[in-house]
Structure 1
Amino acid sequence: MTTTAAVIGGSGYIGGELVRLLLGHPEIDLTTVTSARLAGRPVDTAHPNLRGRTRLTFTDPAALSGADVLFVAAPHTETMALVPRLLDRGKVLLDLSGDFRLRDPLVYREHYGVEHAAPDLLESFTPGIPELYRDRLTGADRISVPGCMATAAILAVHPLAADGLIDGEVAVDARTGSSGSGARGGPGDAHAERSGAMRVFAPLRHRHQAEITQATGHPCRMTATGVEAVRGVQVLCRARLRDGAGPREVRDAYRRAYAAEPFVRIVAQRRGTFRLPDPKILAGSNFCDVGPVVDRGDGWVTAVGALDNLVKGGAGNAVQCLNIRMGWPEEFGLGFTGLHPV
C-alpha cells in the first residue's frame, strides 16, 4: 500500500523539485499539488520538465482534503500561520520554509523581522538534518528542513564541532545561484541584472547564520553572494583549530562523521579540476560534498561544502527525511547522481 502525499505551494522551484522527486518515489502516491495562483491549471505549466510525467492539476489550497504526508513549500513568514491549520490534514508534515527551523522565537524575530505566529509549535519540530538527527527523525511527525546554505555549512562544519577541534566563531562565505531567490524573484534577479554579476546581497547577518549556530554550537558570521549559476550553493567555512589539532585529527573527524552516510562525500584532493567541493557536478543530485583544508602555518581550517540548493538544500533533503521517518531505504527517489560535463 502506497503512502499518499501532497505538496502545498507547488508552483515554485522547490515545489517543482518535490513533485519531480515524489513522482519517481516507489512508495509515494502524489495526489495533490496546491497553488492559489495556478489552481485548475496543469502542473507542467509551471514545471515544463514534467511534461508527460503527470496529469495532475494545481489544486486551490482551500480545497486540500489531506494526505498521509504534507510537504509545505510556502514562503517564509507566511507558513507559520498556515501550519496550525494543516496539522490535522496529514500524519507527517515537512516544512521547507524558515518558519520552524529556529527553536527560539526571539532569534526568529531577530533574523526574520516579525513576531512568530506559532511559538508554541517550535519545539515540536525535528530538524531535518539526517546526518545529525537520524535517530529523532525515525519518530518525527513534524520536520523542519534547513535552508540550503545552512545545510551546506552545517555539514561542512559538523565534524569539526562534534570532535571539539575548533575554537570560537565560524566565518561562512557563501555563494548561491539564482534559483535560490525563488521562481518569483525581485528585479535584481532578472537575467540582465544577474548575468556576469557577483552580487554580495548579504554582507552581514544572513538569516541562515542562526541555523548554523544552533546546529554546531559555534557563533557564526555569514556573508552571502549571488553568482551567475542557476543552481548550486558553495560555502567556505573558516575557523581556528584548537591547540594540538592538525590535518590528521581533521581528516579522522570527517571520516568518522561521514563514512556511513549515503549522501555526504568527502572531497579534498591534491590535484584535479574538481579537487574541492563544487556544485557544478551536483545539479539534480541529493549529494553534499564537503572538504577540509588545514593551514599548517597559522592553525586555521577552511571547510568547503557544496550542494544543489533545490535538492540536498531543499526538496531532496525533505524526501530523505521522510524515508528515514517511514523506515524506507534513504536512497528511495534520490538515485540521480548528477551530470558531468554540464
Structure 2
Amino acid sequence: MKIVVAPDSFKECLDAGAVASAIATGWKRGAPDDEVVEVPLADGGEGSTVALVESQGGTLHTVEVTGPLGAMVWACYGLVDGGKTAIVEVAEGSGLHLVPANGRDALAATSRGTGELINAAIAHGPERLVLCLGGSATTDGGAGILQALGARLLDEDGGDVPPGGVGLEKLVSMDAAPALARLAGIELVAACDVTNPLLGDRGAAAVFGPQKGATPDMVKRLDRALSRMSSVATGSGFDMHSFAGSGAAGGIGGMLGGILGAGLKAGIELIMETVGLEAHIREADLVITAEGAIDSQSAHGKTPAGVSALAARHGVPVIGLGGRVGAELSPLYEVGLTAAFSVVHGPSTLEQAIAEGKDNLEQAAEQLARVVAAFSRSH
C-alpha cells in the first residue's frame, strides 16, 4: 500500500516535518512493507515559510524584529523564484509561540514585528509578497504592521496610538498612504488559515482571543476596538470587515485585504499546490493528516479540511490524528474526512501531552497500520 502522510504542526510541540516523521516511523513499525510518503504541510500559520521555501528550493533569511510584547526576537522570511517572490509569516514575528503561556497579553500584543519583517523582505525588490497568516499572538487588526510600514494611526491629539488592540480604542484617524507607497508595484497575496470575519461572535476576538490570553471582558473590549478601527478605515475609503478571512490573525487579514489590497487565498490550498500534494494523493491508498486539535473549527481553512477535500476528489480515504479531537466532526466528514483519532492515551495535562507528542504519534500510527494491514490481508 502507498500511504501519504500530510500533516500540519502540533503547535508548541512538533513542527510539521517532525509530525510527519513520527507518523511514518510508527506506520512502518506496524506495516513495514508499505510505501510511506511524507509531505509536511502548513495552512498559512506556523511553519508556512519553511514549507514554501523548502518545496521551491528558496533561501531563508533571519533578522531581529519587535516581538508581540515588545522584546526583540529573531524571525525568518523567505525568498523563492530567484528572489521574485518573498514569503513572510505572521507567526515568525508576531507568533503566539513567542509568548509564554503565563505571560500572554491579548490587549497589548502587537503585530509590529511582522511589519518589520515585511520591510526586510521587500528590501530585496520582490515582485510578489506572500503573507502567511495564522498563529498570531495579536488582536490589533494589523495596526502594528501598518505603523512599521510608515502608516500613521492617530489619536485625538494627533499622536500615534499605542501598540496592541488596546491602542485602537484611541484611534480617530489613519493615513495609510506611506504604507501603500512602500508596497507599490508588489503583488500581495495573503494566505489565510481561517475564513472567520473580523467582528462578532465568529470574529477575531471572540473565537481566537481566549487562546491569546483574553478574558470574556477582554474579548468584548477587543471586538469593540477592532470595530473602531474598521469604522475609521471605512471613513478613509477602506473596507476591512465585509469579506471572509478578515478575522484571520487577529484582524490582519482584514487590514491586508481591505487596506493594502492583498488578495486573500486559503493558505492550505496555496501550500498543497506548491508542494505538489495532489500528485502523491492520486497514487495513494490512504492519506493520514494531523493537527494539534481536530474539531469543528478545523473545517474553516485548516489543514485537515484541505487535505480531506483534495483526497475526496480522488476517492482516497483520509484518517486524521490529533492531540485533541472534538465531539462534532460533521463539517469535516462532509468535505471528505473518513475518521479522526486522538493520539493521547488517557487523562493527561497539556504539558504531558506536549512532552509525549512524538511517542504518542508513533504509537497511534503503528496501531492504525496494524489494523489496516490486517484488514487488507483478510480481503
Which has a greater percent of helix?
2
TM-score by length of 2: 0.29
Structure scoring higher RCO (CA < 8 A, sep ≥ 6) equals 2
TM-score by length of 1: 0.31
